[in-house]
Amino acid sequence: MYALKTTNLTKRYGNKIVVDKMNLSIDKGTIFGFLGKNGAGKSTFINMITGIIEPTEGLYEVLGYKKNQQKSIWGKIGVLPDYSTFYENMTALDHLKYFSQILKLDLKQEDLIELLDKVELKDAAKLKTKNFSFGMKKKLGIAQALLNKPDLIFLDEPTSGVDANSVLNIHSIIKEIATNGTTIFLTSHNLDEVEKLCDEVAIMNKGVIQIKGSMKELRTAYKKNMTVYIKHSVASIAQIESLKVDLKSLSIKSEISELSSQITIEDESSIPLINKLFISKNIDVFRIEVDEPSLEEIFLNIGDNN
């Protein structure tokens, strides 16, 4: 069963199409990165799935529940908006108690303290949120989103405005809950974060998904060839000429010099064969570097390539 599946999901405002017949499926237990430039339609899509706004047309299922079973969906998901708003004169613990009552959860105070400890807010449990920094509010928002132990959690910019140590803690939490079976739907402007954490990534542009897949699949779709840089021991003229001949079957082109080489290939499976080729000719390989497009490069250029 998919954690999330949409069929021709569409949202129009007058003549403006914000989400255009989107078909998307996300496997359970994955960390899914959802990217798009401002105005791409990301927030509208999420708001339809979470029941905040009505789709113009199309269908969706969340954890096996259909659109007309929205109350069942709400009990199974958690949501962290980009900017969490709290009651200034209530403490962190008060907030978790309040929202657990709204969700009709049978949680003891020790459970709530444990959750605050998980997001590094145990020492601030009885501090009023008007005294919280932006980063502390972000952590409390994550704790709130995890209250009902959701099967699917939407995290919008979970690490924006927090310090480096807290970023590592939040990443650890995301990985842990995904390992335990929770599906993570992550939106972030930190593309390095998405690249490191996500099993799959989708890039949305002008209301449609333009590309979706693992990082390997995205790189393959975006850039067919890759360049391998090799630093090696001194190669003689005879060794260089021999390499050029043997590399013709493994590469698109090659530039071999005395101390370094640059080889363009179609598939990474050629890399170990190239390494063995150098060694077979008594040339020691000191370092191999592969020039692959980053998620940032793909994201910034994908709109121009489609």
Q: What percent of the chain has pLDDT over 90?
A: 70
Q: In whole angstroms, how far apart are CA 274 and each of 225, 234, 247?
A: 16, 17, 8
Give the pLDDT confidence of 36-94 residue by residue, as tens digits.
888 888 989 999 999 889 999 999 999 998 888 888 888 899 999 877 789 999 999 99
302: in domain = no
Phi, psi of 192 (to 5 degrees): -65, -40
Please check the confidence at residue 217 and state whether its pLDDT lies above 90.
no
The pLDDT score that the predictor gives to residue 224 is 72
Please check the confidence at residue 221 and state whether its pLDDT lies above 90.
no
Please check the confidence at residue 305 and state whether its pLDDT lies above 50.
no
In this structure, the answer to whether residues 232 and 138 fall within a common structural domain is no
In this structure, the answer to whether residues 237 and 278 fall within a common structural domain is yes
Tokens 């598939």 -> residue? 267
pLDDT band at 126 (very low <50, low <70, confident <90, very high): very high
In this structure, the answer to whether residues 118 and 42 fall within a common structural domain is yes
Considering 146, 180, 213, which residue would you say is the last residue of a domain?
A: 213
In this structure, the answer to whether residues 149 and 122 fall within a common structural domain is yes
In this structure, the answer to whether residues 104 and 232 fall within a common structural domain is no
Long-range (24+ apart) CB contacts under 8 A made by 269-275 are 271/228, 274/228, 274/230, 274/247, 274/250
303: in domain = no
In this structure, the answer to whether residues 274 and 137 fall within a common structural domain is no
Mean pLDDT over 215-238 rounds to 88
Q: What percent of the chain has pLDDT over 70?
A: 99
Considering 158, 189, 213, which residue would you say is the last residue of a domain?
A: 213
The side-by-side arrangement of strands in the sheet containing 57-62 is 16-27, 2-13, 57-62, 65-66
Helix (H, G, I), strand (E, B) or coil at 244: helix
The pLDDT score that the predictor gives to residue 142 is 93
Q: Which domain holds residue 288?
A: 224-292
pLDDT band at 222 (very low <50, low <70, confident <90, very high): confident
219: in domain = no
Considering 155, 189, 213, which residue would you say is the last residue of a domain?
A: 213
Of 5-14, 18-27, 217-226, the poorest mean pLDDT is in 217-226
In this structure, the answer to whether residues 193 and 93 fall within a common structural domain is yes
Long-range (24+ apart) CB contacts under 8 A made by 174-178 are 174/31, 175/31, 177/146, 177/153, 178/29, 178/30, 178/31
Give the pLDDT confidence of 260-291 residue by residue, as tens digits.
999 999 888 999 999 999 999 999 999 999 98
Please check the confidence at residue 150 and state whether its pLDDT lies above 50.
yes
pLDDT band at 303 (very low <50, low <70, confident <90, very high): low
Tokens 């914000």 -> residue? 18
86: in domain = yes
Total domains in the fold of the chain: 2
In this structure, the answer to whether residues 189 and 54 fall within a common structural domain is yes
The pLDDT score that the predictor gives to residue 19 is 94
pLDDT band at 306 (very low <50, low <70, confident <90, very high): very low
